[in-house]
Structures are given as structure tokens and as C-alpha cells.
Structure 1
Amino acid sequence: MTFKPFLLFAFVLIPTVLFSQIDEVNPPDYIKTINFRGDTPETQLPILKLGEYVVLEFDALNGDEEDFYYKIEHFNYDWSPSVLIKSEYMEGFDNQRIRDYENSFNTYQIYSHYRLTIPNQFTKGLRVSGNYMLSVYDNDGELVFSRKFMIYEDKTDVGVNIKRSRDVQFIEEKQRVDIVISSKNMQFNNPLQTVKVVIVQNNNLNTAISNLKPQYTIGNQLIYKYDTETSFWGGNEYFYFENKDVRAANTGIQSIDLKDLYHNYLFTNIERANNPYTYNPDINGNYVILNLDAENPSIEADYVWIHFSLKASEALKDKSIHVYGNFNNYAIDDSTKLQYNSQYNIFQNAMLLKQGFYNYKFVVLNKDGLIDEGFIGGNYYQTENNYKVLVYYRDLGARFDKIIGIGEGNSVNISN
């Protein structure tokens, strides 16, 4: 009888916590090429050191030069809202208009290119590390889209090694991440409760592994040598195309056509799940905006209809197949779905993308809502993947989760 009140409290609490978690909001059709990055031209999952700047860029294709505003919020490790008030995590203020924008130049598709840099004259800096969400609103106060980013402090060394799976059943298909966290000048208090780790494969938060606890503590080191808990499907190398010269057939492009806009038709891809692994250099799902004849690709790169195609087989004809990559933040929706063309026995999709170099792959969306990345491309332990490890820490009595270190590893040198 004494346990009933506790059990009732637990059942009431758990749904509240789950439903309070925040997901990113994807943009409407007229917002394209959301590029969230630090000091590199390649779009990336923005994980920045405390004090560094971050750049958000996007295009509005409606030609209205409308006003957009931004807000920044701080979140806990599990993306539930933080209890910190704005002045505790931000120097200055947000809810400001994005003033830096330019109209496209010498392009068939008219668009306005917006750029937000933080810190700026209004938002002078972020005071603490942790999870953040940047949300963009229109002139009516309606949310247009939101993107996550992370700020870390360099207080720990994070060693990351990529190994083959110990499970014989998946030894040819999975990659395992071993982690060693070494404290520099801080003492871990009760690390089983205060330290949490997140592993991100190829900058894709949708497949991240979280809520990992250290297996061993040796001096000032925390050791993670799990098997199944830190294993990812290896996947396969991404397909890619490049159309930096919109008037010529570049890498991966079979033919071009000019209608209202340029159309680029990619070579038809095939299933690779049952083929031997073949190394094919990629940039792990990312993209870079490029234009061969432009000084400023941000406003001089044009928008092109990219026509994807995948050769159909009997195993695919009843599947929901989507184009997948960081070009739209790994989102799955109606715009990414391929339609079956019975005349040519292929699946097809056309997407409006800005000129550049793009990685993509085809994935299957199962009826249970889960994404199967390996159904078409296969899973291979040899696949070159990038892994980032984020270390969160909330000391006893603290009010928010810090990120106290980041580590990075690559499976190019995978070992047993």
C-alpha cells in the first residue's frame, strides 16, 4: 500500500516529460536552403564552442522581401524546456528582425537571401553552454521554422574509436562507438546521474543515440565500451551530384533542360543492398552551395529542378521511398516521396534545389513510421561515417545541463 502514491506519481510524470520535448519545425515550401553553420562553407550540425559565432542563412522564394524575426531558447539535455530565464543564458536580447538580406542576382528564380549572425549588435552573446533552439517567425508572429544548435565548453577530452560490432549476427553491418571521457580540471560527482552522452552519426539528430551511462570509472576517466547500446547501422556511401554549371551536364547529371527554370535529370540509381561494398567518397550527407561563374553563390546560385530516379524492383513496388539528406535537415514528407512510373519501371521525384554539390540516398519509410536507411542501400561495416559525441553534465543541485566536451571519430580506420 505504501508504494501506490509513488507509482501514481510516476505514471503521471512520465507522459508530461515526454510531451514537453521539443522537435524542430520544418519550413513551408517557399523557404529553401536553410544553411546552419560555423566557420566552414559546408552545412553542418552547428556545435560551437562557447564564444564562437554561428551563421544561419536561408532563402525566401516568394519575392516579397518580407520581414523575419528570430528567437533563441535554451533547453535541457533531453530537449525539454530549461528553467533558465533569458537573461541567464543570453547577453542582450532577441525577438529582432533579421536585417541582413540581399535579393538574388542574375537568376531565373527570384529569391531573397537572409543571413543571421550571432553574436550581433542585439544578441551580444550566449552565456552558458547546452542545447539551444533558434526559431524564425514571420511578420504576423507565426512560426516559420526552427533549428537546433549546441554550445559546448572545452572542459573534457573525449576520445572516440569506431569498432566493428561484437554481435556476430551484425558484424558485417554495424559500427560500434567506444568512448573515453577524461576530465581536465573538474571532478565528476556521481557520474552515473550527472553525466549523459549523445552520439550523432553524420550530423543526423534523427538517429542519435542518447541517455548513455558510463560503464566504468578509472580515476578521472569515464569508459563506455558497450556493444548494442552504442551500435549504428553502417549504411552505405551517399550518392552525389554537382551542378555548379547549370548549363552543362556535371557529375551525376545525365541531361539538362530549360523550361521556366533549369531542369537537371540525374542518372537512374539502382539498389545496392545485395551488392558488394564499393568505396565511393562522399561528404556524409551534407551539401555545399556552389556556382562556377559567381563571386557570391549565396545570391548568384540559381534554383534548379533536380529529377531523381531509382530503378524499381518487385521488393520496392509496395514501399514508401524517399530522398534523404542534409539538404532538408533529413526531413521526410510529401516533397521527398518518390512516385512509381510504370512506363519506365522507375521511381521518380523532382525537388527544387539551389546549385551546388549534394549528397543524397534513398530510404524506406515503414508503416510504423520508422525509417529504414539500409533497405535500398544496404548496411556495411566498411562505410565511411562521421561520429560526434556530446558530453552533458549537470552537477548536483544545478539548474541546467552543460555541454562540457565534444569528441569526433571516423570509421575510415575501423578496427575489430
Structure 2
Amino acid sequence: MISKTAYTLFLTALLSAGMVACVPIEQQGGATGATQTAIRYEDYTYDQSVQSVQCYVATGTADQYLEPPVVSLRQQQSMVLEFDRLHVGPQRLVAKIIHCNADWTPSVLTETQYLNQFNEFFINEVQSSVNTRVPYVHYQFEIPKVKLSGNYLLQVTEEGGNLLLTRRLLVYDELVTVVAKLGTPTGPAGRAARQPVEFNVFYKDYPLVNPSQEIIAVMRQNHRWDNVKTYPRPTFVRDDQARLEYTFFEAKDHFLGLSEFRPFDTRSIRFNGVGVVNINTEVSPVEVQLEPNRSRQGGVYSQEPDTDGKQVYGNREYGNAMVNADYTWVNFELREEEVPNGAVYLLGAFNDYRLSDTYRLRYDTERNAYRGRVLLKQGYYNYYYGFKPNASSEADAAYFEGSHFSTGNAYDVLIYYRPPGSRADLLIGYDEVYFNKR
């Protein structure tokens, strides 16, 4: 992670083409083929026409599109949702907000307890793509403010009920003070690969009833939901100081630092950006070939600027990412011997680190490499390769990427509490810390 000044300059240059954002995509595809499915209380895309979903805080700064959807209840900034629908004409879409408990199950609160408005919001900011080979419609929606802290799920459907996507939102109240800090590495293995983060919760001005049992703490790395760590109890309760102490002594309680993310830049189809070796504009959609990669396992740490796994969209030729950025086929290649009893996947915020067939690479015996392609909107991307053993439901990014204590990562801490007599978990504290920020 680079210094705050350098990081801001890096992002300003990165976003200088005048782009609008969006984030992960769960499915690739052409014509809409949605099916009615049960709602999932997570970041998820249900319809294959929906692409390039991003939810962020509208700070008005150059790097706002990288901001996670986390806002303070007392200083509520606007959160914005953006996404595209490919090969589908403009339609009337409806958004709804659902209050959830700490475990992302729906709370029993009535809508009037957390909203000042009727819980049905039409998405009116709609634009069709301009001069793109892949036609799409772009939607933008400013999320209404709520009056209670906690977890929220934003749901978007077609008028009539066909579910399109869901996104997780966080609204915290500053009732307790959370102070996160860098901890001490645990043992030789922990020192080399893991990043210890500790934190304290001060509750002098907000009396907690039975805090050792009622407080739930959650920590995320780079704002990811796929590998969060949940701490149901503090390590120590300092009643005399009105302080909860979370100190971790085992390596399993610390995140792997991994490596800086691999980047590529497709914001131009006239010249090769970072990580790109060839662009074929004679086909439609345009075909982009990335540089062949190799495993970084066992290698030394390399300090490179990244966006912590996230991406920004843009088009250097026309500048308006909202409707001018086109979709291109992006070809990935990992040159490694075939690994038995497992599968290789692409991982990043662009797919919510989700394992699906769209992002799986197949082994090419002639090239001795894992290969695959994904239809992605023009932009600057970060990604990892992950290996999923057949017996596991998760992919191990360290298998190909390695892991280092020195890697720059962002961590945030969420503190949940259900006051006596209340019917839902509230998010009463929040803090963010950068590990190895330069």
C-alpha cells in the first residue's frame, strides 16, 4: 500500500478518463434469462443480463468508486448503486431496503422503524450505451437514507417481482469507540505470511449490558465478505476501563497478507494498457489478451500499487464510463503444470470473489497453462488466481499468489450489539486501519 498522498495521486491518474463505477458481476451472458429464485442475503446477481454492479459512497473525490458502502448514521453520506443490463432495453426497476441482523438474516423490525418513506423506490436514472459494440442500459440509483444503524440489504427487481440483484450496505452509529491497531506477528509462520490486527472497544459513554456475551465483532480484509472473521467474545473485558480487548494469539485468527493484486487495464482499445499484450479490434466484442502469468508462490514480496482487489471502469477514447465503456472479451493465462484434484478460478471484487463456472480456467495441455476468458466492461482491474481442492468449498489464493507480512491491505472492524428489549442487532461502532500503508 502506498502513502495516502501517493495513493490519491495514483487514483486521480487512474480515474482521469472521467469514469463512472460499478463492481462485481456474478454471471456473464447476453439476452436476459432470469429465473425466479429465493433471495440471498449477500452480494449476489440473479439475472445473467446484469453486469458490472458497483455500490459505493458518493464522496465527490476521485477515488469514490473504490469506497465501500459504509456510512455513519449521524453523518450519512449518500450511497450509490450502479449497474448495466446487457442486450435488454430500458425497463422500470424497483429497489427495496431490508434491515438485517449481524448474521445477515432479516430482522423482525417493521419498515417504518428504519425508513421514513414507503419501501418501494423506482430507479429513474437510466441511460442507453453510446457507440458500443455490446449494447447495454446503465442504471444509477441514490440509496435512500435510513434512521437506524445496522446491516441492510438492497434488493433490485423488475417491476412485477423478477429479482435482479442484492447488495449489502452498512450504516453504523458512533456509540462506542473502536480503535484498531497492528499487532505482533505470531511465530515464524505468522511473521512471514499473516497480518495481525488487534482492536479495543471503549464504551464509557454507552453502557453495555453483559458485553462479554452480547457484543459481536466482525473483521474484514479489503472490504470482502467471503472470508470475514467473526469474534463472538472479546479476549479480555476491562470493566474498570470500560474497555473490551481483542488480542489474538493464534495464527488462524490473523488474515493471510497474500500478495499485491495483479492488475490489467483495458480502458483503451487503441493501445496496450498495463497487463495487456494484444487487442483484436477486428472481432466483436473486441478480444483482449493479457500477459501470461506464473505462480508467485515462494517468490519474494514485490511492492506494487494496487486498488486492493477493486476496479474502476472507463474509456480513454470517449471518457464517459457510464455509457461509453464497452464490453470486451478478456483472455487470462496462467502458465503452470496442471494441479490434480482441484480447479483454478479468477478472484476479485469484479466477481465478489465468487466461485462460478464463468470464472473457472481450463487447462490447455498444448500450452501447459490454465486459460479462460470473461466478458468485462472496459476498466482498470485487480485480480488473483485461486486454487479450489475438490474436497473444499473455498479457493486458496495463496496457492498461486503466495503470502507476505509486507503486503498492503485495508482492514475494518464492525461492532454489533442488541440492546435489552430491542428486536434487532445494531451496528454501534466501526473503524478502519491500513496494514503496511506506505
TM above 0.5:
yes
Distance 2:66 2:188 in 1: 36
Q: Within the alignment, does 1:116 sit opposite 2:138 as a pair?
A: no
> 2:212–2:237: 8 Å Cα contact kept in structure 1?
no
Q: Within the alignment, does 1:160 sit opposite 2:180 as a pair?
A: yes
C-alpha change, 1:311 and 1:198, in structure 2 (3 Å) is: same
| More deviation, 157-166/329-338 | 157-166
1:335 alignment counterpart: 358
Distance 1:167 1:280 in 2: 26
Give the Å deviation of 1:103.
0.6
| 1:1-400 superposed matches below 5 A | 22-39=41-58, 40-50=63-73, 51-119=76-144, 125-183=145-203, 185-218=205-238, 219-228=241-250, 230-258=253-281, 259-314=283-338, 316=339, 318-367=341-390, 368-400=392-424
| More deviation, 187-196/211-220 | 211-220
> 2:42–2:153: 8 Å Cα contact kept in structure 1?
no
> 1:287–1:326: 8 Å Cα contact kept in structure 2?
yes
> 1:35–1:43: 8 Å Cα contact kept in structure 2?
no
Residue-by-residue CA offset, 1:42-82 (whole Å, 9 max, x unaligned): 24431111232210000001232122211111111111220
The residue type equivalent to 2:159 in the other structure is N
**Secondary structure of 1:126's partner?**
coil
Distance 2:319 2:222 in 1: 29
> 1:307–1:351: 8 Å Cα contact kept in structure 2?
yes
> 2:43–2:352: 8 Å Cα contact kept in structure 1?
no
For these two proteins, the number of residue pairs brought into alignment is 390
Residue-by-residue CA offset, 1:314-341 (whole Å, 9 max, x unaligned): 4x25530001000122211000000111
**Secondary structure of 1:172's partner?**
helix
**Secondary structure of 2:225's partner?**
strand
C-alpha change, 1:244 and 1:169, in structure 2 (3 Å) is: closer
C-alpha change, 1:191 and 1:75, in structure 2 (3 Å) is: same
Distance 2:157 2:400 in 1: 37
The residue type equivalent to 1:211 in the other structure is Y
Distance 1:79 1:318 in 2: 33
C-alpha change, 1:180 and 1:292, in structure 2 (3 Å) is: same
Distance 2:372 2:149 in 1: 41
Distance 1:212 1:233 in 2: 21
The residue type equivalent to 2:101 in the other structure is N
Give the Å deviation of 1:342.
1.4
State the TM-score, normalized to the length of structure 1.
0.89
The residue type equivalent to 1:375 in the other structure is Y
Give the Å deviation of 1:167.
3.5
Distance 1:31 1:46 in 2: 19
Distance 1:41 1:409 in 2: 18
> 2:217–2:415: 8 Å Cα contact kept in structure 1?
yes
> 1:34–1:58: 8 Å Cα contact kept in structure 2?
yes
C-alpha change, 1:34 and 1:413, in structure 2 (3 Å) is: closer
Gaps of 5+ in 2: 1-38
Give the Å deviation of 1:34.
0.2
Distance 2:341 2:366 in 1: 17
> 2:334–2:369: 8 Å Cα contact kept in structure 1?
yes
Q: Within the alignment, does 1:412 sit opposite 2:432 as a pair?
A: no
| More deviation, 287-296/76-85 | 287-296
The residue type equivalent to 2:395 in the other structure is I
Distance 1:276 1:93 in 2: 55
Give the Å deviation of 1:163.
2.9
State the TM-score, normalized to the length of structure 2.
0.85
The residue type equivalent to 2:48 in the other structure is D
> 1:155–1:184: 8 Å Cα contact kept in structure 2?
no
Give the Å deviation of 1:271.
0.3
The residue type equivalent to 1:145 in the other structure is L
Give the Å deviation of 1:21.
8.5
Give the Å deviation of 1:295.
4.1
> 1:177–1:230: 8 Å Cα contact kept in structure 2?
no
> 2:181–2:433: 8 Å Cα contact kept in structure 1?
yes
Distance 2:44 2:189 in 1: 37
Give the Å deviation of 1:133.
0.5
Give the Å deviation of 1:41.
3.2
| More deviation, 344-353/26-35 | 26-35
Residue-by-residue CA offset, 1:364-394 (whole Å, 9 max, x unaligned): 1222212211111112111111101011121
Distance 1:363 1:402 in 2: 34
Distance 1:24 1:325 in 2: 13
Give the Å deviation of 1:164.
4.5
**Secondary structure of 1:74's partner?**
strand
The 4+ residue runs of structure 1 with deviation greater than 4 A are none
| More deviation, 55-64/394-403 | 394-403
> 2:70–2:169: 8 Å Cα contact kept in structure 1?
yes
The residue type equivalent to 1:285 in the other structure is G
The residue type equivalent to 1:26 in the other structure is T
> 2:111–2:119: 8 Å Cα contact kept in structure 1?
no
Give the Å deviation of 1:413.
5.7
C-alpha change, 1:234 and 1:164, in structure 2 (3 Å) is: farther
**Secondary structure of 1:286's partner?**
coil
**Secondary structure of 1:247's partner?**
coil
The residue type equivalent to 2:229 in the other structure is I
Give the Å deviation of 1:101.
0.6
Give the Å deviation of 1:273.
0.7
